[in-house]
Each structure stands twice: as C-alpha cells, then as structure tokens.
Structure 1
Amino acid sequence: MAYGEKVYKVRNGKKTKQYSWRAKFLLPDGINYGSASGFATEKTAKEYGQEQEAAIRAGRWVDPKLSGTHFGVFAAEFMKARPKRGQTVDTRWKQLTGHIFPRWQYVPLRDINWFAVDSWQLNELQVDDVTKGHVVSLMSTILTAAVDARHLLVNPLMGRRRTKPVMVLGAVPKRVDESKWHPPAAVIQTAERLGWADGFQLLSAAFTGINWGEGQGLDRTHVLERRQLDDDGSAWTCPILRVVQEVAEYEQRGPGGEKLGTVLALEPLKNEHRIRDVDLPPFLAGLWRHRAEVWENDYLLSTESGSWWRRGNWGKVLRPAADGRPARARRQGAAERVAWEPLAPGLTMRGARHTHDTLQEQIMVAASLAYEQAGHKPSGIKGVYQHPTVRMRRHRLDGLQEVFVRAMLSLGKETLWGIPVNLELSQK
C-alpha cells in the first residue's frame, strides 16, 4: 500500500526541522518498496505512489532506475544479447562508436525524444542521407529493445519520418549518376584486360547480379547444377549458380565493441531471399564449365593461390584496368609498363551488380523474376501472388545472351581470354 514519509533536510551534518515528502510504493515483487522523493505534501507523495502501484497492476510500470540507464550502457547490453552475423555486428558497432555514441552515449534512455534525434540527424550528423537512415534505424531498434526490457514505456522513434534538408535558392539539381552502371562492351573489355583469372569474376557479376561476397563463396558443389521445370508437358532445364553462402570481410568485435582484428570468413546469407539459384545464359554457362575444368581451387572465383580476395587488394587490381594508367619506363625494382586508356571509369563490383539489374530492366524481365534472380524481397501484394514462369526465364536468358553477343560483335571479338564463347542467338 502506498504511503508518504517525511524526509528531513540535513545541514552541516545535522537534521533540521525542514522536510519534504517521499513516496513509497510496493514493487512488482510484492515485498520490497520503491520510492521517489521531493514532494511538497504527504497527499501528493501518496497519490504518486498509488499511481505507480496502479501502473504495476496494469503491467505498464517502468522502474525509474532502469529508464535512467545511459543509452551507451543499454546499447552494449543489446549488442551482447542480440548476436548477428560477424559483418552485421561490425557494421552496428561502427555506427554506434562513429556516429551515435558521441552524442547519445551518456544520455538517459528516458531523456531521448524524437525532436532531439531528428534535429541531430538533420543538423549535426555529417554523413550521407542513406547512412543517416541506417543510424536512426539502429537507434530505434535499440530503443524498441529497451521497451521490451521494461526500461521504457514507448519507443519515441518508432514510426517517425526523418526531416529532410530544406531546398535553397540557387541549388544545383542532382545529376543522375550514370557511373553506377556501365555498357556491356566496356565491362567485357575491362574483364578481358584483367585476365582470365580475375576478369571472369567481373563478367559473372555483370551478367548474374551476384555480389562480391556471394561470388567469393561459390565453390564446386554449388556451380553448374541444373534447374529443371515443366514447360507445358516438356522438361526444361538450364544451368545455374546456387548461392547459399558468402565470404565476409569485417572487424571482429569483443563484447564491448573493442576491435579484435580483421577476419575473412564464410557466413550465411543476409536473409532467405538471398538464397537462390541464378540462371546462366548460354555464353556464361560455357565459361563456367571451362572454369570448373581448369581452375584448381575449390572456390572458383578465388585468387590464383586459392585464397579469398580482400576488397582492398581487389581494388588495386580493378582500378587501373577500369580507370586506365600511365606508362612507366623500366627501372630498378619495377618492370616496364604500357599505358592503358580508360575503359569503364569508376566501375566497381557493386557497379557490375547495378549493370545487371539495369540490363534486366532494359530487356524487360518480369518483376517477379528480376527480384528472385537479384536476391531481393518482392514488394507489395504482387510479390505474394506473382511467380516466375519458364517463359519468363527463357526471355531473360535470351535477352542477356543477345546483349552479350551484340557487345562482342561491336568489339569484333569471338573469344574472351583466348577461350571461344557461345555467340548463338535464340531461334524464337
């Protein structure tokens, strides 16, 4: 039963005649009492205590001590209690230590409100807009966990839309970034310049949409299996790449976010939609068969020594092949090097994935199939009711084959890396 008790003020170590009132109320365990001080009268103290007991009975009471937990303390508890893939853990700690903690680490959970967070991300957080969204989303996820842990009654960030910067007079319109995708002929030229060992990875990404980690994770057990479907009473088959795992490069973290060193390791895919069979057009199926025959390593897009690529090392190989390089005379410790003109400035493995999805749009691949092949989650009710058919798959493969053949003909080529390639078009 709630009640109020006098709390005498102390001055110079001695109790005075001045006092205030402290509210006492029974805690959820039914044994111990909680308290809150600073009330002017016994009545207000008792009423506060009764309100707390009513909230406890209704199951909506939050201990003020818990709601006063610093955000940084609870965030560390959250990271420990919610294990994720190593790469996800590293990304979250980077967002916490690099962006969130400098402003919110020592703020009590109950003092975080949407107005303050929205103003901070708009005016103080100096990152691109996509990263701002990820940072605020992580904060919201942690505050939702605080609600679940009975540290807060509500998450003040839940369902709120971030304020975007106001347009100003004289602002230059944002140009369409055409460097995110590249013409197929430029991709083919860059891949050939890289050589058979390395360029095959770039070509595969541009015509399948597999990302960097997925390509590194392709081993012999998951390549050139076959998809078999019924096509109006006839069996239809096509070679596939089975994407079931990926290689991730990330900073391993301790319980408190401390760095333990960079690792390169196999990880499960991000979600169930990323687990997929990617259909191969004829030219690429032939190249994959050749790869499987001559490549001595278990992972078919590895380095020649059999190890997985590190992103930094791959960038050192890809950048001059795509962007070009100046000539270099022979000198002690360095061989002569001919100049390379730019072929696909700015091309990256992510750009190759952009290229693939753009080509799918160009050849009008059905949305349900485009989502499936890219490993994306279908959106809306159409994503529930629409499914790829054999005719859709044939149309996609015929379209990609035609794109490749046209690019090869424009370059006057019939082979890649000295390997004959299939340049036949479908006879519809």
Structure 2
Amino acid sequence: MGYAENLGGYWRGRYKLAPGKYATVRDDQGEAIRFRTKAAAKKAADAEEAKLLAGLKKAVVANRTTFGEYANEWYALQDLAPSTMQNYRRHIEEHLLPEFEQIAVVDLTRAQIEEWAKKERERGYAVSSIKTWRSTLHLILGDAVEDGLREANPASRRRGRGRRAGRSRNRGPEKVVTSALGLLLIAERASLLSGRDDEFVAVTTKGYMGPRWGELVGLETEYVRSASIRIEHQLYELDSGELHRCSPKDDSYRTVDSPRFITGLLTGQISRTAPKPCECHGRTYVFSGHGAANGAAQRPGAKLVDVARRAGVSTGTVSNVLNRPDAVAEATRIRVEKAIADLGYVRNATSGERAAHWRRSGFGTWLFQPAVTGWYPARGKEEAHPVPVLAAPWPGVPARGRGATARADSCWMPIAKGMTPHSARHLQKVLLDELKTPKVLADERMGHMDGSVQARYSHVTTEMREELVDGLTSIWDAALDARRQMCPGSPVAVLDALLKGSQ
C-alpha cells in the first residue's frame, strides 16, 4: 500500500518498489508531484503501486523456467564447503527433482509441496530428513523470489497450521547407548573381527573422548599430547570416495583432556603401527583403514596372529610350522595345525596392508555392527547371519573362510542392538552427565557452543579438568575390573596387557 508523506506545505505520494526501497509519484516530466491533500497523495501512490504490481505479475507469468532448470543454475552459483555442496546435490537430485523437475517455478504451489512431503513420509523417510530437504527447497525458491520468478515462497511453513500432533510428530527413534563395560566389550569384538588392536583403541577413544567420526579418522599424530588431544581437522568422506581434510564441524576446534589410560592407548597405537604420511594429504594419522582403500567393504580373513592366539604360541612358531615344520616339536606342530584348520587360515590370502584411512561404511557395516549385534549384515544373495566364533579363547575368535559356520561352536549375543558408531559419542555425554560435569566443560569437550548470556560468565578451571579426568578413569577401571571377572585374559593383545598388567 502507498502512503502520503507530509512535507510541510504539501503532500507527496510514496509507493514500494522493493523490500526497503520506495519511489515518489512523478509527472510525465519526472518531477515529483505536490499534492494539496493527504488523501490525493495516497490515492496516487496506491495507483502507481498497483500498476507496478500488475507489471511484475505479467513478467512472472511469462517466465516459464522449470524447477529443474533453475535448480541446476542455482547449484552452479553456490560456493560452499564440499560437504555442504554434496548435501545440497543429494537433496536436489534424490528428492526434489524427481517430484518437481518439469514444473515451472511460477506454477509450484504450497499444496504440491505438502503432497510431496506426505509421499516422502509414506516412503518411510524420517521427519527430520524431510524437514532438511524442505529447507533446501525453501532456500532455492527464496532465491527464485529474489530473481523475480515468483512473488512469494510456497515452501514457507506457516505457524499454527496442519495437524495438531504436538511434539510427538517430530520424534525420531531413541538413540541406543551402552554402559562403559558394554563399550569395552564392543571394542574388543571389533578388534577380534579386524584381527588387529587398532579398532579397540579407536572405539575406546571415541567413547571416552567424544570425537565425531571425521575427527577420529582425521586425528593426526602431532595432536596426540601427554594429557590431551587437539581437534584441529576432520576427514569428511565425499560420495566420490575422496576424504576431504577440513575444519571440524561448526569450527569446533578444541583441546580435549585425556585420562592417562587413553594417552597410553594412543601413544601405544602410534608406536606399534609407526604410521607414515598418506599420499592423499601428506599427513600422518593415528588410525589407518583395513584392507585396500577402494571403498569396498570386505571382511578380512584369519591372520597369522589369530592362529598364534588360538594355539597359544608366538607368531614365529606359526611361521616355522608353515615354513620349517621339522624344526617344531610334534605336539606344538599338531596344535598349530589344528588352529589353522579351526580358523580357516589361508596362507597369503590377505596382504595385511593398511589402507590410508577408514571408510565409514566399511567400519560401521563389517566391524562395528557385527560387534554390537553379533550378526553379519546381508550382502548380495547372502542373508544376514550370526558371526560364527570359536568358543576359546573367550570371548570367542571369529571363524573365517569356507565352512566357517560348520567349524564354529558358538556365536555372540547382542550387546546394544541399534547402536551406531556415533552412539559412542552419545555415551561420552552420558558419562559427563553421570559425573555431573559443569556444562561449560562438557560443551568444550563435545565441541558444542552455548550462546546464552550465562555461558559468557562460566569458565573452565584446572580443578574441573582434574576432577573430570579422575572420574573417567574411575569408570574405566570399574569396567576393566568387570571384564576381568568374566575372563582374566583376551585374544586382543592390547586388552590382554591391560587385564593382566593392572591386577
């Protein structure tokens, strides 16, 4: 609506050109018209604004750019972090284009968008996911309004509309977490599945230090210190398979105080594996992947160390049985040969090479989930099935190779079905709550930001840090004691040393 502006001896008509921008009613020569009355000035301003809107409507209707055309142009103009660009591309290609690609931007209606959201819910997608995709749609159409393709954004959500479902409508599935003992058992199983100590160290670190997955994979050796680790970068896995080295989420750079047992595990990991700079970034990382870094998730076969653990001998003895059997006592040779048969060990079946980095799907699907549930997932024509294990030594060594199920004499029970690698970060927050950690320290440790006024007056003290480290150590010691009651040793070397060295 136009309005009249009082300039003392006369009135001037003013009307809206664009948000925050107004024009003055003028005559044919371009001079501002001076009106004698307020009513005349407003009437003239309203008339000019009406003519302007009519012209805009005609221009909008004449533009038949489709959503697919505009979305492609819009995406090409964005210059954001690779992870954000990847997410936008997924939202557009997988969820928005299939529904709206051929529809002209000007013809898109709120009803069509609501119908699309309903279909997505019926397909089983989470409400939170649909809200994220709708936010991307809202962003695109908002720019279309700015570009003059539409008058208003039909993806806007109006308050107080729709079914009154309350907060329950936005509820997602409850996150599954476990106890400190449960985390220890999961870490042990993951290490048994991989045939190396790395997974035990990594899962334990995630539960007691709370790094995000990318921060754990991107932890560089130079940032492991005597009483802390520094979160300076993360490795974000793109759809192309490339691991992009970037800043932590929300720029949450931080130093995380580490209990002595975590420092020991990490420094031992570095000393044991002697990592070298990777070819992709030229950086030296604490953790490496398992098997060829080709993105394929493959279950590793039994290794020499598995046979040695099973037979209760050194890896050198196993090597002698394979290469110089006459140099080994007959009873020992028979025991080693039985372990080879039990485990389905195939000589030179795997190279034992380390990949430069973990892959999220490979780690989660073939190591973490079987450790948590006791089941391998379905793959191709092969259905999901329990992890076949040999009962001794406890908690059971996974049997591998042809006929593994027939050779196995037990399987694992679930520990925390539904738990994911990210749930270990949730466990860290649970432990902080149990220890009644001050919020300012908990937020610092988790990499969260509290923008409240109260937070500006809260500060972390040395006493807070020491109390937290002591509390986490007590929880760890209790979990280790409980594990020792189950069995005083472990096939996982690093855990076996902890169980026997802390008696």
TM-based fold match above 0.5: yes
Say whether 1:321 aligns with 2:368: no
- From the superposition, tell whether residues 404 and 89 of structure 1 become closer, same or farther in structure 2 (CA, over 3 Å): same
Give the equivalent residue in structure 2 for 1:219: 220
- Whose radius of gyration is greater, 1 or 2? 2
- From the superposition, tell whether residues 62 and 378 of structure 1 become closer, same or farther in structure 2 (CA, over 3 Å): farther
The answer on whether the counterparts of 2:234 and 2:248 sit within 8 Å (CA) in structure 1 is no
Give the equivalent residue in structure 2 for 1:341: 412
For 1:341 and 1:332, how far apart are their aligned partners in 2? 18
The answer on whether the counterparts of 1:70 and 1:108 sit within 8 Å (CA) in structure 2 is yes
Give the equivalent residue in structure 2 for 1:102: 98
For 1:66 and 1:208, how far apart are their aligned partners in 2? 58
Letter of the structure 1 residue corresponding to residue 130 of structure 2: K
Letter of the structure 1 residue corresponding to residue 181 of structure 2: A
* Structure 1 residue 390 displacement after superposition: 2.7
Scaled by the length of structure 2, the TM-score of the pair is 0.60
Cα RMSD after superposing both structures: 3.8
SS in 1 for 2:449: coil
Range that drifts further, 266-275 or 325-334: 325-334
Structure showing the higher strand proportion among its residues: 1
Give the equivalent residue in structure 2 for 1:181: 177
Match runs of 1:28-427 below 5 Å: 51=49, 54=52, 63-64=59-60, 68-122=64-118, 125=121, 126=123, 127-158=125-156, 160=158, 177=174, 180-195=176-191, 196-224=197-225, 239-251=227-239, 262-269=240-247, 271-297=249-275, 298-303=284-289, 305-314=354-363, 315-324=365-374, 325-327=386-388, 333=402, 336-337=407-408, 339-342=410-413, 343-412=415-484, 416-420=494-498
For 1:80 and 1:164, how far apart are their aligned partners in 2? 35
Superposed CA deviations along residues 243-295 of structure 1, whole A, max 9, x for unmatched, are 222222232xxxxxxxxxx3131331364443222221222122112222222
Letter of the structure 1 residue corresponding to residue 427 of structure 2: T
Letter of the structure 2 residue corresponding to residue 90 of structure 1: Q
For 1:423 and 1:222, how far apart are their aligned partners in 2? 27
SS in 1 for 2:481: helix
Letter of the structure 1 residue corresponding to residue 468 of structure 2: R
Specify every segment of 5 or more residues in structure 2 that has no aligned partner in the other structure, as ranges.
1-44, 192-196, 276-283, 291-353, 375-385, 391-398
- From the superposition, tell whether residues 388 and 63 of structure 1 become closer, same or farther in structure 2 (CA, over 3 Å): farther
Letter of the structure 2 residue corresponding to residue 142 of structure 1: I
* Structure 1 residue 111 displacement after superposition: 3.2
- From the superposition, tell whether residues 48 and 166 of structure 1 become closer, same or farther in structure 2 (CA, over 3 Å): closer
* Structure 1 residue 384 displacement after superposition: 4.4
- From the superposition, tell whether residues 54 and 166 of structure 1 become closer, same or farther in structure 2 (CA, over 3 Å): closer
For 1:175 and 1:99, how far apart are their aligned partners in 2? 20
The answer on whether the counterparts of 1:62 and 1:151 sit within 8 Å (CA) in structure 2 is no
The answer on whether the counterparts of 2:259 and 2:470 sit within 8 Å (CA) in structure 1 is yes
Letter of the structure 2 residue corresponding to residue 141 of structure 1: L
For 2:452 and 2:158, how far apart are their aligned partners in 1? 21
For 2:95 and 2:176, how far apart are their aligned partners in 1? 27
Letter of the structure 2 residue corresponding to residue 117 of structure 1: I
Letter of the structure 1 residue corresponding to residue 472 of structure 2: L
* Structure 1 residue 102 displacement after superposition: 2.3
Scaled by the length of structure 1, the TM-score of the pair is 0.69
* Structure 1 residue 317 displacement after superposition: 1.9
For 1:128 and 1:283, how far apart are their aligned partners in 2? 39
Letter of the structure 1 residue corresponding to residue 373 of structure 2: D
The answer on whether the counterparts of 2:215 and 2:248 sit within 8 Å (CA) in structure 1 is no
For 1:249 and 1:312, how far apart are their aligned partners in 2? 10
SS in 2 for 1:242: strand
Letter of the structure 1 residue corresponding to residue 96 of structure 2: I
Range that drifts further, 81-90 or 335-344: 335-344
The answer on whether the counterparts of 2:217 and 2:287 sit within 8 Å (CA) in structure 1 is yes
For 1:203 and 1:331, how far apart are their aligned partners in 2? 25
For 2:103 and 2:141, how far apart are their aligned partners in 1? 13
For 1:422 and 1:279, how far apart are their aligned partners in 2? 26
Identity of aligned residues (%): 20
SS in 1 for 2:103: coil
Specify every segment of 5 or more residues in structure 1 that has no aligned partner in the other structure, as ranges.
1-46, 227-238, 252-261
Letter of the structure 1 residue corresponding to residue 67 of structure 2: F
